[in-house]
Amino acid sequence: MNSRKCLMGMASEELASLASGMGEGAYRGRQIAHRLYRQNALNLEDMPELPKLFREKLAEAADLCPIEIAEHFKSTDKVQKLLVHNGDRNLYECVLLPYEDRVSCCLSTQVGCPMGCTFCATGLGGFDRNLSHHEIVAQYLLLQSITGRRISHIVFMGMGEPLLNLDNVLKAINIFTKEIGLSARHLTISTVGLVPQIKKLEEQRLPIHLALSLHSPLDEVRDSMMPVNHKWPVREVVRTMREYQKATGRKVTFEYLLIERVNDTQEQAKELAMLIKGIPCVVNLIPWNWVDVGQQGFKRPSRERVRAFRNALEKLGVNVTERVERGHDIAAACGQLAGRHQGKFAKRSTTAGAPESIRMSTTS
């Protein structure tokens, strides 16, 4: 990270203070915030109401955007993925997800991920560092710049474990809600199940949505998939989610990645239904997307097995949805974000790996 101030991610009052410190009226800072967050200005030249001399002084003292686009990929289903960086060798990814009724985006919170889940490209690539809240906000604003529709929903489900970078995530949420004007109810944080951090998030009493990557109701199965389960086993983390739901009043989500004959059995469907009984929640089924994880026997389940697992849950009264696969051809689907970085403890090198036929220039 360089030492220059990053304007993206600064609140109105911080920008007002910055302007005052440079000999301008505080209202100049509020003008910057309006252009930046409400009109998506990506350079100072897009702020003509600022005096030219002030813009020049500002350009010397601060960066408008702390990150750059290295590569831009576009899927056949209109999903777009940006590979971004802040001038170092650590590249990470964010994804634009357009739907008929809304536009969502998937943001990263870390460069890589230290959690080491065996089914996920990000986790097997290792971990480098947390992203600053400036870098998190900048991902949203860059994605907003490539779509003509307003991005109304954010999921913190990109690279990294958001709750390991909670302070910066909370600062970013403050910008998203108070400066950009998004509804907190349209923001979702996904976690592998860090019990102390879930409790810390609960204390914030934010009306955001929390999703737990559960993936099995059985400790012996989840242990083999997610190292975090050795520290906070299934029943403990589900109990914490139950407490979070009671405290916030928000329905929670249990993400369930289906891997054939690993966690898609009828026995596990019944165990899952008993485990989450009484929690206002939804179980979101995600058929495993192929990644080079080096695991023998990992296979995407057939439609018949997915349907049987879903039917078993529904018969037991569980509210079930199934994740619509998006962006698979540009490696933008669940578990496929790899970035390009020199991750500490990496189990293999990582690549963003999109076919040349779907690569776009950074100016497209």
> What is the distance between the terminal CA atoms of the chain, rounded to a whole angstrom?
27
Strands 68-74 and 359-360: antiparallel
Residue 351, by phi and psi: left (phi above 0), alpha (psi -120 to 50) or beta? beta
Q: Mind giving me the DSSP string for 243-258? A: HHHHHH-PPEEEEEEE
Question: Where are any strands of DSSP class E within the chain?
Answer: 5-6, 62-63, 68-74, 80-85, 92-98, 103-106, 110-112, 127-130, 153-156, 187-191, 209-213, 252-258, 281-287, 320-322, 359-360
List per-residue pLDDT tens for the chain, 364 residues long: 456 899 999 999 999 999 999 999 999 999 999 999 999 999 999 999 999 999 999 999 999 989 999 999 998 889 999 999 988 878 899 999 999 999 999 999 999 899 988 888 777 778 889 999 999 999 999 999 999 999 999 999 999 999 999 999 999 999 999 999 999 999 999 999 999 999 999 999 999 999 999 999 999 999 999 999 999 999 999 999 999 999 999 999 999 999 999 999 999 999 999 999 999 999 999 988 766 655 556 888 999 999 999 999 999 999 999 977 655 555 545 655 565 655 554 444 433 333 332 233 333 3
Q: What is the pLDDT of residue 145?
A: 95
Give the length of the chain.
Answer: 364
Residue 308 identity (one-letter amino acid): A
Q: What is the pLDDT of residue 340?
A: 60
Residue 334 is among the residues annotated as catalytic for this protein: yes
Neighbours of 231 (CB within 10 A): 11
Nearest Cα neighbor of 173 from 186, 159, 191 is 186
Residue 6 is among the residues annotated as catalytic for this protein: no
Q: What is the pLDDT of residue 362?
A: 34
Among the options 24, 71, 93, 179, which is catalytic?
93
Give the predicted TM-score (pTM) of the model. 0.90
Q: Give the CA distances from residue 335 to residues 84, 135, 202, 213, 257, in Å, rounded to whole numbers and listed in that order.
A: 18, 21, 26, 11, 10
Nearest Cα neighbor of 254 from 217, 290, 226 is 217
Sorted by where each starts, the structural domains of the chain and their CATH numbers stand as: 11-63 (1.10.150.530), 68-360 (3.20.20.70)
Tokens describing residue 54? 């002030």
Residue 217 has φ and ψ, to the nearest 5°, of -85, -5
Neighbours of 196 (CB within 10 A): 10
